[in-house]
Amino acid sequence: MTDLRSKTIAGTFCHAPELGSIEILRDALVEIDGRGTIVAVTPAGDPGHAAKRARAADSGALVEAPAESYILPGFVDLHIHAPQYPQLGKALDVPLEVWLQQHTFPLEARYADLAFARRHYEALVEDLIANGTTTALYFATQHVEASKLLVDICLEQGQRALVGKVAMDNPAECPDYYRDASAEEGITGTKALIDYVAAHPENHGLVHPVITPRFVPSCTDPLLEGLGELARQCGCHVQTHCSESDWAHGYVLDRFGRTDAETLDRFGLMTRRTVLAHSNFLTDGDMELIHARGAGVAHCPLSNAYFANAVFPLRAALAKGVRVGLGTDISGGPTASMIEAQRMAIAASRMLETGVDPTLPQAERGRPGSRIDFDVAFHLATAGGAEALDLPVGRFAPGCHFDAILVDPHAPGGTMRVWDDIDSDADALQKIVYTASKGNLAEIWIGGRRVGGTG
């Protein structure tokens, strides 16, 4: 099962193409063309199923997935700080502004050393793929050459990725040893990475560039203006942080007299291809603005527990029509696993609904109607993230890239149990979300090509 391009794979496929709905295709056929794109999905009950299966078998193109396995879309991680991977699981005991100045900026500054950058970026991409992340949205660093190197490594390892050189030039909020010397330098460096990705001889649509103002506090007005103009010119994706914590949200209100979302929109950085990380303190007006622009939110439930001072109102945002996916926020969130991000999204929504202060009466303790279940979390980690990025992944449908994970519930190194006499296929999917781990991910494909897995 190394290369599924120009093959037909037979197996049980599980996806959540629409919010709140799970579709399980038992004994289905998925045909993949030579570029790794799905050209047909034939359910078992389709009148042409038997004939298609026979033709694929006769031509040697039929690949049978192992019995009792499940094939899921690859996970889409909407928020990763690639250079922060070495400090994953460290320095989570201080406020955001302290964490940045004392721990994160010094680490990121070390990526001026390309040998240091290669060592840690290679480990990150390899580990993310092993955890089932087939599409990754990366903040790199302020360094142009190290950002180019991350592009190279994603191409070398076959990961679908979006990479942004971080733009940050505000001397009041960025240390002298780690910032763009001017707005012009930040804009020029961003343009250099965009051009590098576009001209890369090994890149055939796998990696995309991203305009990446770190967040409003780290950028001067001229830098924000220049990046907004660049976004208008090139139509690239945009990523930044939005209203993450009390401090960050309050800083923008004090400086501009308007919210992060309103400020980003003013500078031309709120587009259909914008992803806003965190967004915990969005107002109703912010949500309506984000929906109107078609932008998306990277919900990072685990890191929010450490740095955000609040729980993102996920259900409220979805009700407003905001596009939402999930992010690990390495290393603000201490995990590289999108499975764990799904679990935390569910748990955070339950805590928001029921409240957490037992001294308050039950009726006053939480925010009613906030909970989600595994089906929503699974959608956000796959098709939801894909929709936010406007990329054809996250679903098993014609025209989508075959980015997928084969889950073996009975893998010796796994952490889940499925009982044939008790569990339905829907039960098995629920157990994958709640109990599976990297050991259960037997095969991982991107564009139909095997890139990882324990099998």
**CA-derived radius of gyration, the chain:** 22
Residue 452 binned pLDDT confidence (cut-offs 50, 70, 90) = very high
pLDDT in tens, 15-72: 999 998 999 999 999 999 999 999 999 999 999 999 999 999 999 999 999 999 999 9
* 54-59: Cβ within 8 A, 24+ apart: 56/7, 56/8, 56/29, 56/31
Q: DSSP labels for 43-85?
A: -TTSTTHHHHHHHHHHTT-EEEPPTT-EEEEPEEEEEEEGGGG
Q: 187 is written with which tokens?
A: 């804009």
Q: Which of 441, 418, 310, 428 is nearest to 367 (CA)?
A: 310
- Residue 271 has, within 13 A of its CA and on its CB side, a CA count of 23
CA proximity to 281, closest of 247, 321, 254: 247
Distance CA 400, CA 411 (A): 28
Closest C-alpha to 393, from 47, 76, 51, 139: 76
pLDDT of residue 309: 84
Tell me if the pTM is above 0.85. yes
Angle at 262 between CA 256 and CA 265, to 5 degrees: 115
Distance CA 217, CA 233 (A): 24
How do residues 306-360 score in pLDDT, each as one tens digit? Answer: 999 899 999 999 999 999 999 999 999 999 999 999 999 999 999 999 999 999 9
- Residue 27, φ and ψ in degrees, nearest 5: 55, 35
**370's tokens:** 């906030």
Give the integer Cα–Cα distance in Å for 339 and 346: 11
DSSP 3-state of 100: helix
Token digits for 173? 């909020």
Q: Strand 404-407 vs strand 70-73: parallel, antiparallel, or unpaired? A: antiparallel
- Look up tokens 């002298």; give the residue: 176
Is 90 exceeded by the pLDDT of residue 455? no
264, 239 contact by CB (below 8 A): no
CA–CA distance, 293 with 289 (Å, rounded to integer) = 6
3-state secondary structure of 273: coil
pLDDT confidence tier of residue 214, bands split at 50, 70 and 90: very high
Cβ neighbours of residue 69 closer than 8 Å, sequence gap 6 or more: 11, 12, 406, 407, 408, 409, 442
